[in-house]
Structure 1
Amino acid sequence: MGRGGKSPACTKRDSGLVSELTTVGTPIRVTPPTGEDVVRPFIIEAGNVRGRITRLNASLHQVLSRHDYPEPVSYLLGETLVLSVLLSSALKYDGKFILQMKGEGAVSMLVVDVTSEGEVRGYARFDEEALAAVDPAAIEAAPVMALLKGGYLAFTVDQGPDTDIYQGIVPLEGDRLADCVLDYFQRSEQIETAAEIAVGRTPFGEWVGCGMMLQRLPTETLPKGVTVEEAEDDWARHRLLMSSLKAEEMLDLQLTGIDLIWRLFNEDDVRVADERPVSARSECCRNRLLSAMMSFGKDDIDDMMEEGRVTVTCEFCRADFQFTQAELESPADTNQE
Structure 2
Amino acid sequence: MTQGTQTAWDDTVLPFQLDLADVRGRVARLDGVLQDVLRQHNYPAPIEALVAEAVVLTALIGQTIDLRWKLSIQVRGDGPARIIATDYYGPTEDGQPARIRGYASFDPDRLDMEADPFTQIGEKGYFAILIDQGEGTQPYSGITSLTGGSLAACAEAYFAQSEQLPTRFALSYGRSNEPGRGERWRAGGIMLQHMPKASPLRKPAEGEFKVTPINVDVLEDGENWARANILLDTVEDMELIGPNVTSTSLLARLFHEEEPRIFDTQNVVFGCSCSEDKVRQSLSIYSQKDIAHMITPEGTVTADCQFCGAHYVLDPETVGFKGDKPPGF
CA shift at 1:112, angstroms? 0.3
For residues 37 and 255 of structure 1, the distance between their equivalents in structure 2, rounded to whole angstroms, comes to 14
Q: Contact between 2:74 and 2:84, CA under 8 Å: does it hold in 1? A: yes
Larger deviation, residues 63-72 vs 290-299:
290-299
For residues 326 and 48 of structure 1, the distance between their equivalents in structure 2, rounded to whole angstroms, comes to 60
For residues 211 and 187 of structure 1, the distance between their equivalents in structure 2, rounded to whole angstroms, comes to 22
1:23 maps to 2
For residues 256 and 321 of structure 1, the distance between their equivalents in structure 2, rounded to whole angstroms, comes to 41
For residues 186 and 327 of structure 1, the distance between their equivalents in structure 2, rounded to whole angstroms, comes to 49
Query: Residue 210 of structure 1 is aligned with which of 174, 177, 188?
Result: 188
Q: Contact between 1:113 and 1:121, CA under 8 Å: does it hold in 2? A: yes
Query: Residue 200 of structure 1 is aligned with which of 164, 174, 180?
Result: 174
- Residue 292 (structure 2) pairs with residue 298 (structure 1): no
Correspondences of 1:1-337 after superposition (within 5 Å): 23=2, 30-32=6-8, 36-117=10-91, 118-131=98-111, 134=112, 136=114, 138-139=115-116, 143-203=117-177, 204-218=182-196, 231-281=221-271, 284-306=274-296, 307-330=298-321, 332=322
For residues 183 and 281 of structure 2, the distance between their equivalents in structure 1, rounded to whole angstroms, comes to 38
Q: Which 4+ stretches in 1 moved above 6 angstroms?
A: none
Q: Secondary structure at the match of 2:171?
A: strand
Larger deviation, residues 59-68 vs 283-292:
283-292
CA shift at 1:334, angstroms? 6.1
2:203 maps to none
1:3 maps to none
CA shift at 1:228, angstroms? 6.4
For residues 246 and 88 of structure 2, the distance between their equivalents in structure 1, rounded to whole angstroms, comes to 22
Q: Secondary structure at the match of 2:221?
A: helix
For residues 230 and 49 of structure 2, the distance between their equivalents in structure 1, rounded to whole angstroms, comes to 25
Tell me the number of residue pairs that the alignment of Structure 1 and Structure 2 aligns: 297
For residues 240 and 125 of structure 1, the distance between their equivalents in structure 2, rounded to whole angstroms, comes to 36
Q: Contact between 1:85 and 1:114, CA under 8 Å: does it hold in 2? A: yes
For residues 196 and 214 of structure 1, the distance between their equivalents in structure 2, rounded to whole angstroms, comes to 9
Q: Secondary structure at the match of 2:183?
A: coil
For residues 161 and 259 of structure 1, the distance between their equivalents in structure 2, rounded to whole angstroms, comes to 41
Larger deviation, residues 83-92 vs 299-308:
299-308
Gap change, CA 1:238 and 1:334, over 3 Å in 2: same
Q: Deviations over 1:196-252 (max 9, x none)?
A: 11111121211111111101123898xxxxx96652111111111112211122112
Q: Secondary structure at the match of 1:129?
A: coil
Gap change, CA 1:85 and 1:177, over 3 Å in 2: same
For residues 324 and 313 of structure 2, the distance between their equivalents in structure 1, rounded to whole angstroms, comes to 20
For residues 5 and 246 of structure 2, the distance between their equivalents in structure 1, rounded to whole angstroms, comes to 7
- TM-score, with structure 1 as normaliser: 0.82
Q: Contact between 1:145 and 1:174, CA under 8 Å: does it hold in 2? A: no
Q: Secondary structure at the match of 1:205?
A: strand
For residues 56 and 102 of structure 1, the distance between their equivalents in structure 2, rounded to whole angstroms, comes to 24
- What stretches of structure 1 of length at least 5 have no aligned partner? 1-21, 222-226
For residues 56 and 287 of structure 2, the distance between their equivalents in structure 1, rounded to whole angstroms, comes to 38
Q: Contact between 2:72 and 2:86, CA under 8 Å: does it hold in 1? A: yes
CA shift at 1:267, angstroms? 1.4
Gap change, CA 1:102 and 1:92, over 3 Å in 2: same
For residues 285 and 314 of structure 2, the distance between their equivalents in structure 1, rounded to whole angstroms, comes to 14
Gap change, CA 1:29 and 1:262, over 3 Å in 2: farther
Same amino acid, percent of matched pairs: 32
- TM-score, with structure 2 as normaliser: 0.84
Q: Which has the larger helix fraction?
A: 1
For residues 334 and 280 of structure 1, the distance between their equivalents in structure 2, rounded to whole angstroms, comes to 34
